[in-house]
Amino acid sequence: MTAPVPDRRTGGAAVAGGLLLAASVGAELVHPVQNPDGSVVSPALFAGYLGVWCLGAAALLVAQLGLRRTPGLTAVGRAGAVVNLAGTGLLLAFGVVVVVSGLATGTPLEASFLAFAIGLLLLAVGSALLGVGLRRSGALGGWWTTLPVASAGALVALLVEQWHDLGLFVLFGAWVLLGVATTRRSSRPADRVAAPVG
């Protein structure tokens, strides 16, 4: 018995999304473009960082749409995919609002961070549910475990202030690993892998 694997585009989008989002966060850590009060000190770099963030969120949306179409994905997995889409959509909306308001007024709109927080919470829930669904489908073998790791990273980023950035890197890194696994498994002969028995 065999289980179809999500296609390479899904994996590539997951890799690109995770890397771009991590690069955006990392760039701000290496070279901050905002004062402690949130005011923008380098508009061009600020726009660049947020542009990379938005591209990463958009790529992650593409990956999540692809995973949602995984053959054999359970109802729990499909629900997780929808929750993930909502969470990632909020992260994309956050990036757009922050860059527009930051460039227009010199300080990002404070309310946009609510979208960021809710987006992380939805990603934590959605990633865990999607992981369970992928485990049962057998499509990615043991690589479904990257999604509970992503869920944990999102929760850490949301709930533990001093580990916020670390949590984001874990979240995005887990999606990169899932994307690499998806790409590698989909390139096997006949694009099929063994499904679990029972």
Domain that holds residue 151: 2-194
Query: What pLDDT is recorded for position 100?
Result: 97
Which residues lie closer than 8 Å to 43 by C-beta, 6 or more apart?
102, 103
Q: What is the DSSP letter of 194?
A: E
Query: What pLDDT is recorded for position 2?
Result: 46
For residues 64 and 44, give the distance between their C-alpha atoms in angstroms, rounded to a whole number. Answer: 30
Cα torsion 186, 189, 193, 194 to 10°: value is 180
Output the pTM of the full model: 0.89
For residues 129 and 79, the answer to whether their CB atoms sit within 8 Å is yes
Query: What pLDDT is recorded for position 140?
Result: 86
Query: What pLDDT is recorded for position 4?
Result: 59
Query: What pLDDT is recorded for position 3?
Result: 52
- The DSSP annotation for 136-191 comes to HHTTTGGGGGHHHHHHHHHHHHHH-GGGHHHHHHHHHHHHHHHHHHHHHHHTSGGG
- Tell me if residue 11 falls in helix, strand or coil: helix
Q: What is the DSSP letter of 195?
A: P
| Tokens 């061009």, residue located | 44
Query: What pLDDT is recorded for position 139?
Result: 85
- Picking from 55, 51, 74, the residue whose alpha carbon sits closest to that of residue 63 is 55
Number of domains in the chain: 1
Instruction: Report the phi/psi class of residue 6: left, alpha or beta, with left for phi > 0 and alpha for psi in -120 to 50.
Output: beta
Each residue's pLDDT expressed in tens, for the chain with a length of 198 residues: 445 567 789 999 999 999 999 999 999 999 999 999 999 999 999 999 999 999 999 999 999 999 999 888 999 999 999 999 999 999 999 999 999 999 999 999 999 999 999 999 999 999 999 999 999 888 888 999 999 999 999 999 999 999 999 999 999 999 999 999 999 877 655 444 444 433
